[in-house]
Structure 1
């Protein structure tokens, strides 16, 4: 089955590049508040940056880049969190036809070395001294590097001073030479299954993505009469966060840039910025839900919250049926209860996002249907979408007014989706990248006749909505030959408030098992409510009450799969998988192979060791055979 997106409402970019929109917006409305910067003297205040101010600063920095020897087609690495300086530098580089190479600020020296060498980077901009030391440890002073600047040393002013003698015409000459097919960003994949590959994302790719979203979904960004604004807290080193910034700057939407996504930093930023729309990942929506549930429990209102959540989901389901023509919508009684809980619960939840958000987007992985229904019932419709680095962002999205929770929507205008014979999702359209940098073999394997093989597994329902069921490389094959996609089990387990992460294992093993990490805040809350003292997670891992809680979560997850696919054992780990430990990508995806390597002993402990598992005369295991499973509670 193949599904084609609706015809585009806006015309694809035929000439020029991303930098042109900076001038178009400034010429049209120079006083427009294009961005907002945190006021260093008052952390809860945001200072507007007009379209004219942004254009002038970008021009000044572009002149400095030329004065320092950077030229058309050169690649410059930006190793930074999501902050204002990043936006200025990226657009300055696009002004002179240079290519941006985003580098995650948490990258190790080995990862940085690979990117600098693979992309033949000419210059690097980092946030601070620690990043500069990482670049130096990566051998950055050798190779092709000619310059390194630091944001915390006011590199924007330094570059502007360096470019004082460069005329405006020189910048405009470079900008006029940029064409849509030229590379704007060399965006590296997360490397979850191997060496990261540099995706060649063009000006035309990003412009098509942004313009399609603005054309089809722009009406959702703000309520009528409100000035649209978005606080971007997604990593700009990831194509998702990069796309949000480009979309705002092309669409004249006020853009705030927030570098930290920890609750202590993000929640106050949302409250002070008060965005009208949110782009996020499922983790954020899950975190807000569980935090609100814990707060209700601590004040003795857990029962009220749970009833409100049930009403929200039933209300949203009734609205969903109405939109499909298969129902009459919420009943009068349900509407009345919904109105009561809106005053008691839902408005408080909306206040967490600043109070103005009525619509949002979730990306990077599928948002659980139950969570999508809850938020819709609480007054925030979350439009789930699907895309990859190679597609410059989303290729499918929920159509306005026709959301199907639990799916990732239909193909966006200008895009097509089909499902291969093996269940792999293939996509085609204007946002599909130009290939992998210096890797013809990988490019040929991924791009065939204009179609991109995503590596994801999915299906199209009878209305053409895409459902992602897993990742081809993640499929587990047990020693009994059973193929298991871990996604369903892992998603269901993460629904439990105590569970932070879950990795399902079982390749060449007699049955499926799981490594589970716990949310420290949720665990602390659970411990205090049950009078468990000050025991840490290592001591609590063997607590019978805690294990019973997790066992119930496992049992609920198992109801979604067959007996052969169910989790037969689990192990609670003493700490979460983190970016710093190298077990999670910066976009919060598990590095499955690395986790399995680091926790090999924990995985082995969930399977019985049998004498006949050993090859005669060796200490090595033979292929495992089905044998008796441990008790359902797993190993401590």
Structure 2
């Protein structure tokens, strides 16, 4: 397997993504590399056809002025043309710089300005219009390549071109210049930047994180050596292309391990398409696993009485077996036989409905996952495991081994990667997967990289068997006025284990006691309310219903029981809206921007700590058009110990 994973000796100048792609086309040219569902039909692209598309994109981009060192903005949902263009830019030694598809014009402007972007590849009219709307503020954009022509045909701006036209021009260049193809295959080097990703920007402007060919290939090969995934996996590309996970899985691992990448028709059809493909490797966030569990629970609640009785028997049975298995106990013959019956009647059908019937590798990362959620999916028979990584270390650093899964750890480092804990309790990482420094930010680079070690900013510890425990961000360790030490994210994650809480911001830094701002989960709480006959008309109305306050207070009391008294939550508010990335309250990966939240909800926070029972809240909201408005609502303030005592 090791020979199959490498195009040449790792670390040498010729070991790069284009060399791996060329080897795949040469040795496995007729095998399927990519599928895209288009108008209900899966269209297949072989490795040879993928290479041809990438070379055509590279030649076309070069003909349009893209050169080594240029930054190429990539914006849109997962589409083959965007990946072709991304790899085409890489072949030219230019650097793809992806943005989230729901980025606001202001966020795109910041990225264009900071990186001096001259070329962009956009999915459709929506993204093109965003870029064109910035012309008065940024006149450096010379080329826009778009994939979907709908809405643009007949009114194409002078400096915009369809991807199909660009690729056709590229093919002409390849025909007219016999040596160009080989040049494009060998121009890149292992020490070139393959992708420019970005930090979440929770405390300011996002930092650029350049990952080189050698970083991402080292990470993928190391993870494969540890059995994290293998050659020939089937993978669904639905994660945002601006997130490191998508680049590592859909580009780096797909090339190095010859994955078949499956692209859904659109984001709204992911679940349907996932079921048809049934990938062998599946990775998503704890929040997505929680949403999936909620969907199962809602579906079972609405099914026939017989199915509900079977579910209510077999699922607790499987969870109990899995809990005992994780504690080191092996099931007996009768237990295995009865579990087999459950597989036939309940577990198998549920996995089939979720599209995970073939999943050999299932992972979660990004934040802590609830014990109940984790146990549920493992009880179904999915080999769900946790892993740990950051953009700065190519997303792959440590993972739970199949036979040593613990509920509270993220596993052991992959081969060739080292982890240690500093005297201050910070997790430090060293290995070939670690980046060389931030883009155009020497001060931040010097702070993050010291003596060859990446300072992750995460607090944690290593257990005696070498497994890593992640506690939260070092920067988020705060204190009450009484000196009680706590990490807000740790408590928030405990609360978000419930499907009824989508987001929560724990308060208490420099205060006498802790409080919380809660954004309920609209779908889960809405279904809960319907089942109990609680009437509501909107998100804001639902959030303020007394039974909903009682529900959330009960969840908080459960979490409080696990916390020291000085760090228990005393009061909370159910907000009348979700935290919104367009309002700057969370990042695109839903990390809290605490400074913005403190500013937006300052009056509510003051009311909580003043002892008031309610407050008229005003919230600034940003619509999809970019216009803003104000939302007003009377909000109750609830004592956790007395949920009924509300105005």
Structure 2 CA distance for aligned equivalents of residues 274 and 631 of structure 1: 46
Contact kept, 8 Å, 1:76 with 1:100, in 2: the verdict is: yes
Residues 364-421 of structure 1: CA deviation (Å, up to 9, x unaligned): 2232333222212211111211111111111111123332233111111111111112
Q: Give the C-alpha shift of residue 161 in structure 1.
A: 2.5
Cα gap change, 1:629 to 1:379, in 2 (>3 Å): closer
Cα gap change, 1:564 to 1:307, in 2 (>3 Å): farther
Which residue is equivalent to 1:91?
A: 87
Structure 2 CA distance for aligned equivalents of residues 85 and 180 of structure 1: 24
Which residue is equivalent to 2:115?
A: 119
Which residue is equivalent to 1:157?
A: 164
Residues 512-568 of structure 1: CA deviation (Å, up to 9, x unaligned): 111111222212211221122344333333433222211110011112210111111
Q: Give the C-alpha shift of residue 338 in structure 1.
A: 2.7
Cα gap change, 1:496 to 1:60, in 2 (>3 Å): same
Matched, 1:173 2:183: yes
Query: Could you tell me which of 239, 245, 255 is aligned with 2:244?
Result: 239
State the SS of the aligned residue for 1:393: coil
Q: Give the C-alpha shift of residue 218 in structure 1.
A: 5.7
Residues 427-484 of structure 1: CA deviation (Å, up to 9, x unaligned): 1111111101111111001100110111111111111111111112223322222221
Which residue is equivalent to 1:463?
A: 465
Matched, 1:69 2:76: no
Which residue is equivalent to 1:416?
A: 418
Contact kept, 8 Å, 2:190 with 2:213, in 1: the verdict is: yes
Matched, 1:14 2:12: yes
Structure 1 CA distance for aligned equivalents of residues 265 and 315 of structure 2: 31
Contact kept, 8 Å, 2:191 with 2:214, in 1: the verdict is: yes
Greater mean deviation of Cα atoms: 506-515 or 127-136: 127-136
Query: Could you tell me which of 295, 302, 310 is aligned with 1:298?
Result: 302
Structure 1 CA distance for aligned equivalents of residues 136 and 12 of structure 2: 37
Cα gap change, 1:309 to 1:591, in 2 (>3 Å): farther
Q: Give the C-alpha shift of residue 165 in structure 1.
A: 2.6
Structure 2 CA distance for aligned equivalents of residues 408 and 288 of structure 1: 21
Q: Give the C-alpha shift of residue 359 in structure 1.
A: 2.5
State the SS of the aligned residue for 1:501: strand
Greater mean deviation of Cα atoms: 492-501 or 289-298: 492-501
Q: Give the C-alpha shift of residue 587 in structure 1.
A: 2.0
Contact kept, 8 Å, 2:557 with 2:641, in 1: the verdict is: no
Which residue is equivalent to 1:446?
A: 448
Equivalent residues in 2 for 1:276-425, closer than 5 Å: 276-299=280-303, 300=305, 304-322=310-328, 327=329, 329-351=330-352, 352-425=354-427
Cα gap change, 1:259 to 1:494, in 2 (>3 Å): farther
Cα gap change, 1:596 to 1:306, in 2 (>3 Å): farther
Output the TM-score relative to the length of structure 2: 0.87
Which residue is equivalent to 1:257?
A: 263
Which residue is equivalent to 2:618?
A: none
Matched, 1:272 2:276: yes
Structure 1 CA distance for aligned equivalents of residues 136 and 215 of structure 2: 30
Cα gap change, 1:497 to 1:302, in 2 (>3 Å): farther
State the SS of the aligned residue for 2:609: coil
Equivalent residues in 2 for 1:529-548, closer than 5 Å: 529-548=531-550
Matched, 1:202 2:209: no
Query: Could you tell me which of 224, 228, 231 is aligned with 1:214?
Result: 224
Contact kept, 8 Å, 1:103 with 1:237, in 2: the verdict is: yes
Contact kept, 8 Å, 1:79 with 1:131, in 2: the verdict is: yes
State the SS of the aligned residue for 1:279: strand
Cα gap change, 1:281 to 1:259, in 2 (>3 Å): farther
Q: Give the C-alpha shift of residue 101 in structure 1.
A: 0.7
State the SS of the aligned residue for 1:165: helix
Greater mean deviation of Cα atoms: 269-278 or 302-311: 302-311
Structure 2 CA distance for aligned equivalents of residues 175 and 582 of structure 1: 41
Which residue is equivalent to 2:576?
A: 574
Contact kept, 8 Å, 2:321 with 2:379, in 1: the verdict is: yes
Matched, 1:108 2:108: no
Cα gap change, 1:138 to 1:388, in 2 (>3 Å): farther
Which residue is equivalent to 1:437?
A: 439
Q: Give the C-alpha shift of residue 500 in structure 1.
A: 1.7
State the SS of the aligned residue for 2:595: helix
Higher RCO structure, 1 or 2 (CA under 8 Å, sep 6+):
1
Q: Give the C-alpha shift of residue 495 in structure 1.
A: 2.4
Equivalent residues in 2 for 1:451-530, closer than 5 Å: 451-530=453-532
Q: Give the C-alpha shift of residue 578 in structure 1.
A: 3.1
Residues 253-310 of structure 1: CA deviation (Å, up to 9, x unaligned): 110123755xx52211111222122121112211111111122223356665454443
Cα gap change, 1:367 to 1:140, in 2 (>3 Å): farther
Cα gap change, 1:271 to 1:539, in 2 (>3 Å): same
* Alignment RMSD: 2.4
